[in-house]
A and B are shown apart, each in its own frame.
Chain A
Amino acid sequence: MAKPKIATTSLAGCFGCHMSLLDIDERILKLIELVDFDKSPVDDIKEFTGRCAVGLIEGGCANEDNVHVLQEFRKHCDILVAVGDCAIMGDIPAMRNNIPLKECLDEAYLNGPSTYNPEKIIPNDKELPLCLNRVYPCHEVVKIDYSLPGCPPNADILWQALVALLTNKPLELPYELIKYD
C-alpha cells in the first residue's frame, strides 16, 4: 500500500514551526517511512500532486495568497492541522489587527525612522498579493480539524500528533507538551 501523504506550508509565519518539525532529530527517518511529502517547502513541491492525509498549516492569513493556499490545503487534505500560535490566533503578525492597514503601510514605507523612500511609493505591483485588512487565524477562513499550540510547538508535540493522526490513534497529549509560548 502506498504511504499516506502529508503537505505543509508556511503562510504568515516565520518558518519556526517548520524548523521545529525538523527538530524531531533522528525520528525524521521514521517519519519518511511513515509518509511521503507532497506540496511542502521541505521538498519544494509547489502544487498538490494528489490527495493528502494530513496538511500542516503554519501561520495565519495576512494576504490574499495566504487565503488561496489555505483553501487549496483544505481542498486536498483529509485532516488540516493549525500548527503554532500564528495559525491558531494570528500571533505576532496579528499585532497589526487593531491598527488600520493604511497606518501600518504608512509606517513601514513612508514614516519609519530608517525609511528612505523619496518617491513615497507604497508597493502596489499587481504581482504582489494584496494585504488583508487584518490577519485572520486559519480557523476563521477554513475548517480546521486540530490545533497544536506553541511558538513554536515543540518537536515532541508535532511528532506525537503526526504519529497519532497517521496511525489512526487518539490524540492524547501529555501536560508538559501543551504550551502557548
Chain B
Amino acid sequence: MSDQITFTIDGVSIKGKPGQTILQAADEAGIYIPRLCYHPELAPHGSCRVCTVLVNGKPQAACTQPISEGMTVENDTPELKEHRCNIIDMLFIEGNHFCMFCEKSGNCELQAVAYRLGILAPKFSYLFPKKDVDATHPDIFLDLNRCILCGRCVEASKNVDGKGAFEFVGRSIEKKIAVNAEANLKDTNLAVTDKAADVCPVGTINKKRTAFAVPIGKRLYDKKPIGSEIEERKK
C-alpha cells in the first residue's frame, strides 16, 4: 500500500497519508474547511455538519470521511457556503447567544465562523428557549444558553479525562448536555484542569475568575479570521 494518497480539493492536488480524514489532510495542506464540533485532539463527532464537503459529488463530513486515491472534494463553493451559513444561523437562533456580555466573545468559535462567513444577522426567527445555568462548581460554571451540542466536553471527559462528567440527554430540539451526577456540576468529579473544561468552542463551559482577561482588539479572532492559522501553512 502506498504511503501517500493524492486527491483534489477545489481542483487543487493534495497529498495525504493513509488513514487521514479529509479535514486532517486539508489542514496539513493549508486549506481551511470551516468546522465547529471538530477538535484536533479529540475523536471526530461529525455532528455539526459545518465541515460538509462534496466528495465525488456527494455530501460528506470532512472530519469523519477518510481520504482515498483520486477523490474529488469540493469545499469553497457558493452552495456549501450557503449550507454552512444556514447551520450557523440555526445554532444562533436555537440558543440564547448574547455575545455582548459573553466572556467567550472574541474567542468563540461559533462567533468566529459566523464572522468568517460574513453573517450579519441570522435569517431565521429566534426561539428564545429557556435554558439552565449551573454555577455550583467552585471553579467552573455551565451556561447551557450558549451550548451548540458539539459533544467535545462529552468526548473529552469520557475518553481523555476518563470521568464521563458530561452526557447528552433528550432528543431533537430537547437534546442537551447533562452532568453525570444526582444534582449539579459540583456533584461530579470534574476538575478545572480536565481536558473537558478546556475544549468548549463557545461560552458554555467557563472557568471562573478568568473572564475578560484579554482586552477587545487582542482576542483570538478580533483581527484575523478563524482558519487563517491553517491557511498560513500553505506554501
Identify the A interface with B (CB < 8 A).
82, 85, 88-92, 94-95, 97-98, 134, 137, 139-140, 146-149, 151, 173, 175-176, 178-181
Q: Kindly list chain B residues whose C-beta atoms are within 8 Å of the C-beta of A82.
A: 121
Inter-chain pairs besides A151-B99, A175-B116, A181-B216, 13 sampled, C-beta below 8 Å: A90-B128, A92-B100, A94-B128, A98-B96, A140-B125, A140-B126, A147-B120, A147-B121, A149-B121, A175-B115, A180-B99, A180-B111, A181-B106
- Are B118 and A178 within 8 A (Cβ)? yes
Q: Kindly list chain A residues whose C-beta atoms are within 8 Å of the C-beta of B225.
A: 175
Question: A181 is contacted by which of B102, B120, B121 (Cβ under 8 Å)?
Answer: B102
Whose C-beta in chain A lies nearest to the C-beta of B216? Answer: A181
- Are A139 and B121 within 8 A (Cβ)? yes
- Are A180 and B100 within 8 A (Cβ)? yes
Compute the total of residue contacts between A and B using a CB distance below 8 Å: 64
Of residues 85 to 100 in B, which have CB atoms within 8 Å of A's CB atoms? 96-100
The answer, yes or no, to whether B235 is at the interface (CB within 8 Å) is no
Q: Kindly list chain A residues whose C-beta atoms are within 8 Å of the C-beta of B126.
A: 89-90, 94, 97, 137, 140
State the interface size on chain B (CB cutoff 8 A). Answer: 28
- Are B128 and A151 within 8 A (Cβ)? no
For the complex formed, measure the closest distance between the CB of B44 and the CB atoms of chain A, giving whole angstroms. Answer: 27
- Are B99 and A88 within 8 A (Cβ)? no
Q: Kindly list chain B residues whose C-beta atoms are within 8 Å of the C-beta of A139.
A: 121, 125
- Are B120 and A134 within 8 A (Cβ)? no
How many Å lie between the Cα of A148 and that of B121 in the bound state?
8
Q: Kindly list chain A residues whose C-beta atoms are within 8 Å of the C-beta of B98.
A: 91-92, 95
The answer, yes or no, to whether B130 is at the interface (CB within 8 Å) is yes
Question: A97 is contacted by which of B105, B116, B128 (Cβ under 8 Å)?
Answer: B128
Whose C-beta in chain B lies nearest to the C-beta of A139? Answer: B121
The answer, yes or no, to whether B222 is at the interface (CB within 8 Å) is yes
The answer, yes or no, to whether B223 is at the interface (CB within 8 Å) is yes
Whose C-beta in chain A lies nearest to the C-beta of B110? Answer: A180
The 5 closest A-B pairs by CB, nearest first: A151-B100, A147-B121, A180-B99, A97-B128, A98-B130
The answer, yes or no, to whether B129 is at the interface (CB within 8 Å) is yes
- Are A176 and B120 within 8 A (Cβ)? no
Q: Kindly list chain B residues whose C-beta atoms are within 8 Å of the C-beta of A97.
A: 126, 128
Q: Kindly list chain B residues whose C-beta atoms are within 8 Å of the C-beta of A85.
A: 99-100
Q: Kindly list chain B residues whose C-beta atoms are within 8 Å of the C-beta of A91.
A: 98, 100
Question: A134 is contacted by which of B100, B101, B119, B128 (Cβ under 8 Å)?
Answer: B128
Whose C-beta in chain B lies nearest to the C-beta of A152? Answer: B100
Q: Kindly list chain A residues whose C-beta atoms are within 8 Å of the C-beta of B120.
A: 146-149, 173, 178
How many Å lie between the Cα of A95 and that of B102 in the bound state?
13
For the complex formed, measure the closest distance between the CB of A96 and the CB atoms of chain B, giving whole angstroms. Answer: 9
Q: Kindly list chain B residues whose C-beta atoms are within 8 Å of the C-beta of A175.
A: 115-116, 224-225
For the complex formed, measure the closest distance between the CB of B47 and the CB atoms of chain A, giving whole angstroms. Answer: 23
How many Å lie between the Cα of A94 and that of B114 in the bound state?
21
